[in-house]
Amino acid sequence: MQTQRTELLSQLPECGWRVARVEENLEWWADEMWLLESVWSPVGSRAYVTFLVDPQFDGSRKKGEAVWAVMASPAKPMDRLQVEGEFTLSLGQGWKNRLPAFFEHLAALRSQGKESSSA
C-alpha cells in the first residue's frame, strides 16, 4: 500500500487538493482516512479518502497491511456499510491505470460540494 499511498499524495496537489487531516487508529475496516480540502474553486470543498482493509483478512494486522482499495466519498464514512455505493479504486494489479478515474471522481465531489454549499 505504501507505493499507492505515496502516488496518491503526490498527485493530490496537481489535482487541486490538499490533505487537511489524517486519521489513524480507526475501526478494523479502515486503515487510514484523509480529509481533503480543495485549493481550486470552489476553495474549501471537502472530500474523504479512506484506505479499506480486506474484509476477508483474518488475524492481527499491522498498519498498511491487507489494504485492498481506496475509497473517495463526499462525507466521512462512519461504518463499513457506508462503503457500498462509493467510488473505490482497487489497489491490485493495474491500479495506476485506474488513477485518472479516481481523480475524476474527486473532481466531481468538489463540484457537489459547491452545489450543497450554495443550496
Please count the other Cβ atoms lying within 10 Å of the Cβ belonging to residue 83: 17
Instruction: Please say if the pLDDT value at position 95 is more than 80.
Output: yes
The count of domains in the chain is: 1
| Residue 90 β-bridge partners | 69
For 77, how many CA atoms within 13 A lie in the half-sphere containing its CB? 28
Query: CA end-to-end span of the chain, whole Å?
Result: 38
Instruction: Give the model's confidence band at 70: pLDDT under 50 very low, under 70 low, under 90 confident, else very high.
Output: very high
> Taking the CA atoms of the chain, what radius of gyration do you get in angstroms?
14
3-state secondary structure at position 65: coil
Cell of 109: 465531489
Instruction: Please give the residue range of the domain that contains residue 106.
Output: 2-118
Cβ neighbors of 8 (< 8 A, separation 6 or more) are 49, 70, 99
Instruction: Give the model's confidence band at 77: pLDDT under 50 very low, under 70 low, under 90 confident, else very high.
Output: very high
- pTM for this prediction: 0.90
